[in-house]
Amino acid sequence: MLILARHGQTAANASGLLLGRNDVDLNEVGRGQATAVGRALAGATRVISSPLLRARRTAEAIGLPVEIDDRWIEVDYGIYDGEPLADVPREVWEHWRHDPEWCPPEGESMASVGRRVREACDGLVEAASASDVVVVSHVSPIKAAVTWALGVGDEATWRMFLDVASISRIGVSGRGPSLRSYNDCHHLEG
């Protein structure tokens, strides 16, 4: 099974800021969420993480050695990284939603995220068909992995919501990937 976990909350997430490549740590709530993710994924045999601190901290809570894979880094929001969501011009969102190859100034396109994540997913098929492989990452790469599993285009990422510290599962077999669960947050209850 390929298990995708989004990192726990940061102060930037809690404040409604776009958080791409800015490398910030988890806040107190996020540390508790990371612990809950760790408990929920205790049976995993391998843990891979984005290089960003918030993902690494969440991955470390699983209790296994953490492999870093740069392909799982968050999308680069370019000049909008760290800005309040409401301050990003509407036309920027429109361009991004309607053209997967479009990218903001100094940023990255959703198609670029999709290409690097599909490559990473393809490389994990054999391992994930034999045991539970966890990848701790961010909104855009996890959504890209889901589009890989579903066999749909990068534009579908805009039609998904993914919460902090959520867990999604993709089964892999000789028949190809299949989405088993998405945006599961049951481990955070209580």
| Residue 48 CA to its chain's centroid (Å) | 12
Considering the chain, what percentage of its residues have pLDDT values greater than 70? Answer: 99
The domain 2-188 is placed in CATH, from the list 3.30.1330.10, 3.40.50.150, 3.40.50.1240, 3.20.20.70, at 3.40.50.1240
List the catalytic residues.
Answer: 7, 74
| Amino acid 18: pLDDT | 94
Q: Is there a contact between 41 and 167 (Cβ–Cβ < 8 Å)? A: yes
Nearest Cα residue to 154 out of 165, 167, 144: 144
**Rounded Cα–Cα distance for residues 159 and 10 (Å):** 23
Domain boundaries, the chain: 2-188
- pLDDT number for residue 100: 95
Task: Report the alpha-carbon angle 79-83-87, nearest 5.
Answer: 100
Does the pLDDT value for residue 190 go beyond 80?
no
Instruction: Report the pLDDT value the prediction gives residue 20, as an integer from 0 to 100.
Output: 95
List all residues 6 or more positions away from 128 whose beta carbon is below 8 Å from its beta carbon. 1, 2, 170, 172
pLDDT at 187: 97
User: Has this prediction a pTM greater than 0.85?
Assistant: yes
Digit-coded pLDDT (tens) for 37-76? 999 999 999 999 999 999 999 999 999 999 999 999 999 9
pLDDT at 83: 95
- How much is the mean pLDDT over the chain? 96
Q: How confident is the model at residue 174 (pLDDT cuts 50, 70, 90)?
A: confident
Q: What one-character DSSP code corresponds to residue 131?
A: S
CA–CA separation, 174 and 26 (whole Å): 38
Percentage of residues in the chain having pLDDT higher than 90: 96
